[in-house]
Chain A
Amino acid sequence: MSIPESISERLTQALQEGEADTAEEVALEALQANLDPLEVIADVMIPALTEVGRQFQAGEIFLPELMMAGEAAERVTKHMEAAITAQGRTSIPLGVVVIGTVQGDIHDIGKNIVATMLRAHGFKVVDMGRNVAPSAFLNAANEYNALIVALSSLMTTTRPLALGTLNLFKEVGVKDRYRLVVGGGCVTRDWAEEVGFDGYSEDAAGAVELCKALVRAK
Chain B
Amino acid sequence: MHTNWLVEITKRAQSGPYMKESDFDLKVIKRIKELVKEKGIKYDPNVLCPADDDMADRVWEAGLQLFLEFGAYCQTTERCIRFTRAEVLDILAEVRNEITLGVGKDAVVMRHRGVEDAANRAIMHSGPTGLPCTERWHPLILQSCAQEPLVDCLGAGSVSTYFGEKIIPGTPLEILGARRDASVAREAVRMAGRPGMHINDVAVPLTCAGKMAACDPQAGLRPSDGILVSQMVELKTDFDQLSRVAHLYNTGGVTVDLMTPLIGGLGGAAPGTAVVSVADHLLGVVLYDADYHMFSLTHLHYVNNTDPLGLWVNAMVGQALARNTRIVTLNDVYVISGPGTKELLYECAAQAIIGTVCGFNMQGAGTTGGFKADHTTGLEARFIAEVSRAALGLKRQDASALAAELLTRYQATLSSPNRGKPFAEVYDIETVQPKAEWLDMYYDVKDDLARLGLVMKYAPRPASA
Interface, chain A (partner B; CB < 8 A): 59, 62-65, 67-68, 71, 104-107, 109, 155-161, 164, 185-186, 203
Q: By the criterion CB–CB under 8 Å, are A160 and B26 in contact?
A: no
Residues of B with C-beta under 8 A to A109: 233, 262, 265, 300
Q: Is the CB of B206 within 8 A of A157?
A: yes
| Interface: B32 (CB within 8 A) | yes
Q: Point out the residues of chain B lying under 8 angstroms from A107, CB to CB.
A: 232
Known pairs A62-B300, A64-B272, A157-B166; A104 contacts B29 (CB<8 A): no
* A159-B166 contact, Cβ under 8 Å, with A64-B33, A71-B26, A185-B370: yes
Chain A contacts of B265 at CB under 8 A? Answer: 62-63, 109
Q: List 14 A-B contacts (CB under 8 A).
A: A59-B264, A62-B264, A63-B264, A64-B268, A67-B25, A67-B26, A71-B26, A106-B75, A106-B232, A109-B265, A156-B160, A157-B168, A157-B206, A186-B160
Tell me, rounded to whole Å, the shortest Cβ–Cβ distance linking B235 to chain A.
Answer: 13
Q: Which B residue's beta carbon lies closest to that of A107?
A: B232
| Residues of chain B lying within 8 A (CB to CB) of residue A157 | 158, 160, 166-169, 174, 204, 206
Chain A residues, Cβ within 8 Å of B301: 59, 203
From residue B430, how far is it (CB to closest CB) to chain A in Å? 28
Closest to B21 in A: A129
Interface of B is mostly: loop
Indicate if B371 sits at the interface (CB-CB under 8 A): yes
Task: Tell whether, in the assembled complex, residue A68 and residue B26 are in contact, meaning their CB atoms are under 8 Å apart.
Answer: yes
Q: Are A160 and B268 in contact (CB under 8 A)?
A: no
Q: Are A156 and B132 in contact (CB under 8 A)?
A: yes
**Could you give, for residues 151-195 of chain B, a 1 whenever the CB lies within 8 Å of some chain A CB and a 0 otherwise?**
000000010100000111110001000000000000000000000
B266 within 8 A of A: yes
What count of chain B residues pass the 8 Å CB interface test?
34
Known: A104-B206, A105-B206. 20 other contacts (CB 8 A): A62-B264, A63-B262, A63-B264, A63-B266, A63-B300, A64-B29, A64-B33, A65-B268, A68-B26, A106-B232, A106-B238, A107-B232, A109-B262, A156-B158, A157-B168, A157-B174, A157-B206, A158-B206, A159-B166, A160-B166
- Complex Cα distance, B371 from A203, in Å, reads 14
**Which B residues are CB-close (under 8 A) to A158?**
168-169, 206
Q: Which of A63, A159, A203 contacts B268 (CB 8 A)?
A: A63
B108 sits at the interface (CB 8 A): no
Question: Which residues of A lie under 8 Å from residue B75 when comparing CB positions?
Answer: 106
Q: In whole angstroms, what is the CA distance A66 to B4 when docked?
A: 41
Q: Identify whether the interface residues of A are mostly helix, strand, loop, or mixed.
A: helix
Residues of B within 8 A of A68 (CB): 26, 29-30
- 6 nearest A-B residue pairs (beta carbon): A104-B169, A156-B160, A64-B29, A62-B264, A160-B166, A64-B268
Contacts of A62 in B (CB 8 A): 264-265, 268-269, 300
Which residues on B sit within 8 Å (CB–CB) of A156? 132, 158, 160
The distance in angstroms between the C-alpha atoms of A29 and B154, with both chains bound, is 62
Q: Closest B residue to A158 by CB, please name it.
A: B169
Determine how close the nearest CB of chain B comes to the CB of A24; give it in whole angstroms: 15
Give A130's nearest chain B residue, CB to CB: B75
Q: How far is the CA of A157 from the CA of B264 in the complex (A)?
A: 26
Rounded to whole Å, the gap between the CB of A211 and the closest CB of chain B is: 20
Chain B residues with CB below 8 A from A161, complex form: 168
Whole-angstrom distance between the alpha carbons of A29 and B279 in the complex? Answer: 41
Q: In the complex, which residues of chain A have a beta carbon less than 8 angstroms from the beta carbon of B169?
A: 104-105, 155, 157-158
Contacts of A59 in B (CB 8 A): 264, 301
CA distance A180 to B272 in the complex (A): 36
Contact A64 B32 (CB under 8 A): yes
Contact for A185 among B174, B206, B232, B371, CB less than 8 A: B371
Given the complex, which residues of A lie within 8 Å of B29, measured CB to CB?
A: 63-64, 67-68
A186 CA to B238 CA, complexed, in Å: 23
| Contact A106:B206 (CB < 8 A) given known A59-B264, A59-B301, A161-B168 | yes
> Using Cβ atoms and an 8 Å threshold, which residues of chain A touch B232?
106-107
Bound-complex Cα distance A164 to B160 (A):
16
Contact A104 B170 (CB under 8 A): yes
Quote the shortest CB–CB distance from A134 to chain B (angstroms).
12
Residue of B nearest to A56 (CB): B264
Q: Which residues of A contact B266 (CB under 8 A)?
A: 63-64, 67
Q: Name, among A64, A68, A109, A185, the residue most crowded by chain B CB atoms within 10 Å (CB to CB).
A: A64
Centre residue among A64, A104, A155, A157 by max chain B CB count within 10 A = A157
Complex Cα spacing A157 to B169, Å = 7
Q: Which of B30, B168, B272 has the most CB of A within 10 A?
A: B168
In the assembled complex, which residues on chain B have CB atoms less than 8 Å from the CB atom of A71?
Answer: 26
A206 to chain B, nearest CB (A): 13
**CA–CA, A164 and B206, complex, Å:** 18
Residue of A nearest to B265 (CB): A63
- Name the residue of chain B whose CB is nearest to the CB of A155: B206
Q: For the complex, what is the distance from the CA of A59 to the CA of B206, rounded to whole Å?
A: 31
B33 neighbours in A (Cβ, 8 Å): 64
Query: How far is B303's CA from A158's CA once the two chains are assembled, in angstroms?
Result: 19
Query: B residues 92-136 with Cβ under 8 Å of A?
Result: 132
Distance between Cα atoms of A203 and B303 in the complex (Å): 13
Question: What is the distance, in angstroms, from A173's C-beta to the closest C-beta of chain B?
Answer: 24
